[in-house]
Amino acid sequence: MASNVVTRFMEKHAALSGKPHRVRSSAEAADAIADILAAIGAQRVALANLSQELSAAIERTLSGKVLELRKEPFPASTLPHAIDDCQAGITGMAFGIAQTATLAEIAVNDAQRLVSALPRTHIGIVHAKDVVETLEDAAPLLRSIFQQNPSNCTVSFISGPSRTGDIELKLTLGVHGPGEQHAIIIEE
Amino acid sequence: MADVHQAALKARIVKALEEPKHSAALLRCMQRGRDNRARALTELPGGADFRGTVKAVKDRCIEHQVELVNRFIANAEARGTRVFCARNGQEAIDYVLKLASDRKAKVIAKSKSLTTEEIEINDPLIEAGLKVIETDLGELIIQLVHEKPYHLVFPSVHKMAADVAKIFAKETGTEVSEDIPSIMKVVRAYLRPIFLNADIGMTGANVGIAENGCIVIETNEGNGRLVSSIGDCHVCVMGIEKIVDTIEDAMLMVLAHPVSASGQLPTTYVTWMGGRSPLGEGESRGPRESHIILLDNGRRSTRDDVAMRESLNCIRCGACMNVCPTYGVVGGHVFGHIYPGPIGIPWTAQVHGLENAGAFASLCISCGLCKEICPAEIDMPMMIAEVKRRFAVEHGFAKAERTMMGADGFAALGSAMAPIANRMIQSKTARKVMRATLGIDERRALPPFTHQTFKKWFHARKRVSQESKRRVAFFVDVFANHNRPDLGQSAVELLERLGCEVALPEQRSSGYPFIAYGNLDKAREVATFNIARLAPFAKDGYDIVATEPTAAYCLKSAYLTLLHSSNDSEFVAGRSHEFFEYLIDFDTGTTEFPSLKGRRFGFHISCHQRPLGAGHGAVEWIRRHGGEVKIIETGTCCGMGGTFGLKSGPLGYDLSMAVGKPLFDLFNQSGVDAILTESSVCAIQLREGTGLPVYHPLELLAQ
């Protein structure tokens, strides 16, 4: 059942010019990330919203492969430039929606939003068990997120790369946000 | 008076007709929007049924608006957001000016917001010394050339890549190649420092949620995310009608909006923003603030205005402009004030005043297609008729409009004096006089009148009594009565051959021109008359049948609105049928009738027929009788718009032919022998535009 949801997510994501990857563990996720970063030659990479386990796996794998990993906490005085300066941003996602190939990101600090918004490449990581079928299924999830964060909280739905059709209606990727958007789905 | 007002509009239409490149780009955009929407609907479990759900949610939220606004404010403030209620644009502008001055702000980065367009906030901010930059690419392009949006969703659709390259070359002082990827690189580099250094980020909101005080911002480019996160101060300007009750309501809007706008579900980025977050940790760069300006600007009075209230259901998807025939030719600079397109007419009337709306309302030809595509099922044609009515109270009706609304009496006179009238409509001199006195274009071939009207024929003929299986009350419109009684005769004879007893209740012609030109008092009078005469037949078990699509549309839809869904109007609507939709249930194709084998027809769907089965009955009937028939369509109107194309000049014949051109081309390239359509006025237009023979399907009976 879960894998069907993942398949649907991946098909839709690819149709939206996204790049989906299915992996079996945090370690495999880190390997996939290393390959993506190597392909684009990223030297400075920002990380946000990741579990301890994922963060550790990524740091281990990328050690020596990239020049600099920038992690939370981001000093306020260096923002937004410290993130804009990165070629790739890697963020953990709260849940996914298969119907629309949406990755949902929870941010209680806007620096987390910038990691998925400023660099040219964004890699979002979600666990297969957190992928729901439809937008409708996402409503109760949103409700509980906002109840758990009664002061400030922003949830961002990200469905593929930044796009525009404003010139001659021709689809163009990456006008402001990432032109390359990866979804890594971990099935454990 | 009204003619004077229309003179300015006519001049703008003439100018737009001289720019066919803009119209071609716009028509491509509209076609793409419709195709993508249709494709997206196949991915929705309920298909087009989501429209009813959206309408129900919007109706409920507008009904409970006062309570929802209060709850939204309380919940947004609980999240630390400051909420300001602006009664009008000036109050909103003053609030932002003060904010900018208090914060010593220099740069405001904006993401696309029609509400800030509505109140024209940019100019006063720029005059106060602020740098205000639109970051949505389309909005930026038009900002740089000081224009207004050409289309709601694609504001710069009339600018080609070469134009855009020139605009950015001038702005950046560098050379910009004309290919889109190169332009994008320039745009990204141009806007990046603005995003990074903005003191204030200003956005609109697609939805506000009462339940938790969140706003929802939908974008595809991602500019909304940057504008709402980097600057230490975020200002959101939103109309109060955007507030819904629950997250589920908001989710529906998040889906309905892009499905209708661009065929996406949903937009690439949907930001659910609840309160203001810090940016980074430790040493702060200053306090982070979030402000929401809730704008009234005529919305509360619109809610109290029964005829206009439904316009608050608009979710700003732009679907209505993707199907509007005249908008496609003249574009949003002519067909709009600030809000363009069909919904732009009632919205302009409510927020920018009746005078501004009246200046372009007569571009609406009342085809009704906007209502059929609107995700919230807003009855735009009737609302626009009401705007026309209010404008006419001040300024009267234009000459040609008076003629068209008097068509009934004119036709009666034509029939009474048929030989003379028919010589007149053939005479060049007489036609010039008719243009000057009646506003009818002399280039338009008018159908001849017959001395014996359908009604006279019906009452004079001998009826053979027979046992009837069905009882039919026939509803005839002005044209079928005075110009083509043969069609009504064929219909009646065919129904009788198939075992129906046919009655002709006392009736007036449908009166649709009164709706089209905004004489709603007259329209209501006609509707009341006809419903009073038809209801007893309907209650007695008669089925009511009309051969003219517009007449059937009146019975099934327009009269209901005019009479506020009175019991009798509901009863009549429930028993009314478009002729072939009715016939197809029991005419199995076995009636004696010349076979249509070997003949190839192209079928034209008249606009008013679209909600009545879209010609399915007629097409099926032709096929059952051996004819080959395919529907040929652009998805919009043939341009005739009822009587619109009979009127002289730019606000009539010229515009009507320009609208029809793409459809004429399709018919001429299709290789069909003849065109079939059930609408008498579409037939005039298609005959003239294509040079092909045009028939009503009933005419084939006689051939």
| Interchain contact, A164 vs B221, CB within 8 Å | yes
Task: Find out whether B595 and B553 touch, Cβ atoms under 8 Å.
Answer: no
Task: Find out whether B141 and B186 touch, Cβ atoms under 8 Å.
Answer: no
Sort out which chain B residues have CB atoms less than 8 A from A143's CB and list them.
Answer: 211-212, 247
Q: Which helix (H) or strand (E) holds B594?
A: none
pLDDT above 90 covers a percentage of chain B that reads: 67
Task: Find out whether B348 and B356 touch, Cβ atoms under 8 Å.
Answer: yes
Q: What one-character DSSP code corresponds to residue B652?
A: I
Alpha-carbon distance of B644 to B478, in angstroms, equals 16
How many Cβ atoms are within 10 Å of A144's Cβ, its own excluded? Answer: 9
Q: What pLDDT, in 10s, does the model give residues B559-574?
A: 999 999 999 999 999 9
SS (H, E, C) B162-229: HHHHHHHHHHHCCCCCCCHHHHHHHHHHHHHHHHHHCCEEEECCCEEECCCCEEEEEECCCHHHHHHH
Can you give the pLDDT at residue B351?
A: 96
| Interchain contact, B274 vs A152, CB within 8 Å | yes
Q: Is A164 on the interface with B (CB under 8 A)?
A: yes
Answer yes or no: is pLDDT of B284 > 70: no
Task: Find out whether B214 and B272 touch, Cβ atoms under 8 Å.
Answer: yes
Band of pLDDT at residue A3, cut at 50, 70 and 90 = low
Alpha-carbon distance of A81 to B196, in angstroms, equals 7
ipTM above 0.95, yes or no: yes
Sort out which chain A residues have CB atoms less than 8 A from B214's CB and list them.
Answer: 146
Closest CA to B150 of B141, B300, A51, B699: B141
**B511 vs B297, residue with greater confidence:** B297
Can you give the pLDDT at residue B701?
A: 75
Give the Å distances, CA to CA, from B86 to B115, B205, B213, B238: 12, 15, 18, 10
Task: Find out whether B272 and A155 touch, Cβ atoms under 8 Å.
Answer: yes
Q: What mean pLDDT, rounded, does chain A reach?
A: 95
* Cis bond upstream, residue A73 (ω within 30): yes
Sort out which chain A residues have CB atoms less than 8 A from B246's CB and list them.
Answer: 139
| Interchain contact, A102 vs B266, CB within 8 Å | yes
In angstroms, what separates the C-alpha of B82 from chain A's closest C-alpha?
13
Task: Find out whether B54 and B259 touch, Cβ atoms under 8 Å.
Answer: no
Q: Is A15 on the interface with B (CB under 8 A)?
A: no
Chain B residue nearest residue A138, CA to CA: B251
Q: What is the pTM of this model?
A: 0.92
Query: Helix, strand, or coil here: B438?
Result: helix
| Interchain contact, A176 vs B191, CB within 8 Å | yes
| Interchain contact, B272 vs A118, CB within 8 Å | no
Q: What mean pLDDT, rounded, does chain B reach?
A: 91
Interface-testing mutation among B28, B75, B156, B221, with chain A (most A C-beta atoms within 10 A): B221
| Interchain contact, A77 vs B157, CB within 8 Å | no
Query: Helix, strand, or coil here: B395?
Result: helix
Can you tell me the mean pLDDT for B571-582?
A: 94
Task: Find out whether B385 and B422 touch, Cβ atoms under 8 Å.
Answer: no
**B455 vs A96, residue with greater confidence:** A96
Burial class from Cβ neighbours inside 10 Å (0-12, 13-18, 19+) for residue B104 reads exposed
Phi, psi at B306, each rounded to 5° = -50, -45
| Interchain contact, B136 vs A166, CB within 8 Å | yes
* Cis bond upstream, residue B266 (ω within 30): yes
| Interchain contact, B270 vs A135, CB within 8 Å | no
Alpha-carbon distance of B279 to B282, in angstroms, equals 10
- Radius of gyration, alpha carbons of chain A: 16
Chain B residue nearest residue A172, CA to CA: B181
| Interchain contact, A136 vs B251, CB within 8 Å | yes
Return the half-sphere exposure (C-beta side, CA atoms, 13 A cut-off) of residue B187.
33
Chain A residue nearest residue B272, CA to CA: A155
Alpha-carbon distance of B124 to B147, in angstroms, equals 16
How many Cβ atoms are within 10 Å of B84's Cβ, its own excluded? Answer: 17
Size of interface A-B (CB pairs under 8 A): 201
Interface-testing mutation among A135, A158, A176, with chain B (most B C-beta atoms within 10 A): A176
In angstroms, what separates the C-alpha of A181 from chain B's closest C-alpha?
11
Can you give the pLDDT at residue B237?
A: 98
Q: What one-character DSSP code corresponds to residue A75?
A: B
Can you tell me the mean pLDDT for A46-71?
A: 94
End-to-end CA distance of chain B: 49
| Interchain contact, B214 vs A146, CB within 8 Å | yes
Can you tell me the mean pLDDT for A22-34?
A: 97
Sort out which chain A residues have CB atoms less than 8 A from B137's CB and list them.
Answer: 164, 166-167, 175
Sequence length of chain A is 188
Hey, what long-range contacts does B253-256 have (CB within 8 A, 24 or more apart)? B253/B54, B253/B57, B253/B206, B253/B207, B253/B216, B253/B315, B254/A135, B254/B206, B254/B207, B254/B216, B254/B218, B255/A135, B255/B44, B255/B50, B256/B50, B256/B54, B256/B315, B256/B317, B256/B375, B256/B376
Assigned token pair, B318: 């732009």
Alpha-carbon distance of A139 to A122, in angstroms, equals 25
Can you tell me the mean pLDDT for B631-653?
A: 91
Q: What pLDDT, in 10s, does the model give residues A143-186?
A: 999 999 999 999 999 999 999 988 888 889 988 999 999 999 99
Band of pLDDT at residue B437, cut at 50, 70 and 90 = confident
**Cα three-residue angle B231-B124-B236, rounded to 5 degrees:** 40
In angstroms, what separates the C-alpha of B341 from chain A's closest C-alpha?
19
Alpha-carbon distance of B222 to B210, in angstroms, equals 25
CB under 8 Å to B621, separation ≥6 — which residues? B580, B583, B584, B587, B589, B697
Q: What pLDDT, in 10s, does the model give residues A79-116?
A: 999 999 999 999 999 999 999 999 999 999 999 999 99
Alpha-carbon distance of B496 to B489, in angstroms, equals 11
Alpha-carbon distance of B34 to B635, in angstroms, equals 8
In angstroms, what separates the C-alpha of B84 from chain A's closest C-alpha?
19
The closest CB to that of B137, out of A76, A138, A175, belongs to: A175
Can you give the pLDDT at residue B1?
A: 64
Band of pLDDT at residue A12, cut at 50, 70 and 90 = very high
Interface-testing mutation among B158, B160, B206, B229, with chain A (most A C-beta atoms within 10 A): B229
Give me the DSSP letters along B229-285. HSSSEEEEEEEGGGEESSHHHHHHHHHHHHHHHHS-SS-SEEEEEES----SBSS-S
Closest CA to B601 of B491, B702, B693, B484: B693
Do strands A153-158 and B269-274 pair parallel, antiparallel, or not at all (unpaired)? antiparallel
Alpha-carbon distance of B21 to B89, in angstroms, equals 35
Can you give the pLDDT at residue B363?
A: 96
Chain B residue nearest residue A171, CA to CA: B180
Assigned token pair, A63: 């050690």
| Interchain contact, A75 vs B282, CB within 8 Å | yes
Closest CA to A177 of A124, A116, A125, A126: A116
| Interchain contact, A111 vs B141, CB within 8 Å | no
| Interchain contact, A152 vs B275, CB within 8 Å | yes
Which 95-154 residues of chain A touch chain B by CB within 8 A?
99-100, 102, 107-111, 113-114, 117-118, 135-136, 138-139, 142-143, 146-147, 149-154
Can you give the pLDDT at residue B261?
A: 87
In angstroms, what separates the C-alpha of A106 from chain B's closest C-alpha?
10
